[in-house]
Amino acid sequence: MVRSPAFTADHRVRLLQGAQELFPALVKAMDAALSDIQFETYIFDFTRSGASVAQALERAARRGVRTQLVVDGVGAGAFPLEWTERFSAAGVQFRVYSPLGPLGLLLPHRWRRLHRKLCVVDGCMLFCGGINVLDDLHDPNFGTLAAPRFDFAVQATGSLVAVASDTMDQLWWRMQAVRDMRERRLPEALQALRAASAAQHAAQVAEDGPRVRAALLLRDNVRNRSRIERAYRRAIGAARHEVIIAYAYFLPGGKLRRALLMATRRGVRVRLLLQGRYEYFMQYHAARPVYGALLAAGVEIHEYAPSFLHAKVAVVDALGERPWATVGSSNLDPLSLLLAREANVVVEDAAFAADLRQRLVQAMEQSGRRMEPARYAGRPLRQRVLDQVAHALMRLALWITGRRY
């Protein structure tokens, strides 16, 4: 039996679409911060509106607000020297999660990335979702985009904020301990490890309570290896009317695929809004070999065309008696579900679920292109070969990590 996440009923949750809605809310919260800001992101890009978030962090640190920023060593890449110096001068505490080193991603343990996007302000407000610090109309690899990137986040208050804050504290102090040990500062390292242990205990206590309304789901490589995936399987297994999933990178494992197929057999309408534009070879091609069985079972697949789809959201039975919705950083693919640190907010609220559903349905109907079984079967030979090669490479990568999926 799949355990449900711990829910509490004391939350207020606001859906935010794109950086155009997230960044102003982030900046407003940071400018009002009194004590501390904790911020984690995979990508931090300073182009256009991304600079507004950096400037807000800088202003907060100069006011004396404790400001901690963690970025991923792959996603963020090399920080501009100007901003490294500005953050240092302002007092922004800044760390890089798992820098690649000379061998880069040739070492399998480097495939474990910090992919979650979390910000906690003054311990009472949380931002969580799939949106990086990256302007909606800018892509580091493709330049200016013709239409905004399609993505979501939430702004929340309530008990789940403490869970997010504690898990961010835990990671911060563990990174501090590693740095201290490398510098042979063992007393400081032991103190940092004790702080991480205390943060972990606080997170466990914060998760106790009645299971209603909203919860924060975390994925890591220690205690929470499969929590997000199991929550998905439970929600899909309980669906009675409709499942809508929008994901940038979609390569579900066998259990998730079976849950979707079983839902269609029960008469549930299952719709997927997936990436329609080429972005990365592995993510684009490796997913397509699984489409055939889904289409044959009656699953609707819509490919988003105007810009890059970066969303990681789902809605189950939004108009039914038990609405369920999630917004977060975790893709439904092996990199997210087996290797990365991820964070999703799950909401059981009719108004929130209906709002998210309406935006996804609108995107499918106005900006999506439905994939028909005949069109899928008639893909050019070159594309089918590339799909199989990418799928085989993904399976090889899983074999190297020793993970089952």
Active site residues: 115, 117, 122, 310, 312, 317
**Of 107, 89, 48, 98, nearest in space to 70 by CA:** 98
Q: Using an 8 Å Cβ cutoff, are 14 and 356 in contact?
A: no
- DSSP calls for 41-53: ES-B--STTHHHH
3-state DSSP of 141-153: CCEECCCCCECEE
How far is C-alpha 366 from the chain's CA centre? 25
67: which 2 tokens? 């400001």
Tokens of 182: 């490398």
Phi-psi region of 29 (alpha: psi -120 to 50; beta: other; left: phi over 0): alpha
Full strand arrangement of the beta sheet holding 125-129: 12-17, 152-157, 125-129, 117-121, 36-41, 66-72, 93-97
Q: Whats the size of the chain, residue-wise?
A: 405
**Distance (Å, whole) CA 61 – CA 67:** 6
Collapsing DSSP to helix, strand or coil, 344 comes out as: strand
d(CA 176, CA 184): 12
Q: How far is CA 374 from CA 331, 357, 368, in A?
A: 27, 28, 17
**Position 167, amino acid:** T
Looking up tokens 């080429």 gives 278
**Beta-bridge partner residues of 138:** 144
Side-by-side strand order, sheet with 214-219: 214-219, 342-347, 324-328, 312-316, 242-247, 269-275, 300-304, 368-370
Query: Which residues are within 8 A (CB) of 174 and not within 5 positions of it... i.e. 6 or more apart?
Result: 192, 193, 196
3-state helix, strand, coil in the chain (%, to 5): 45, 25, 30
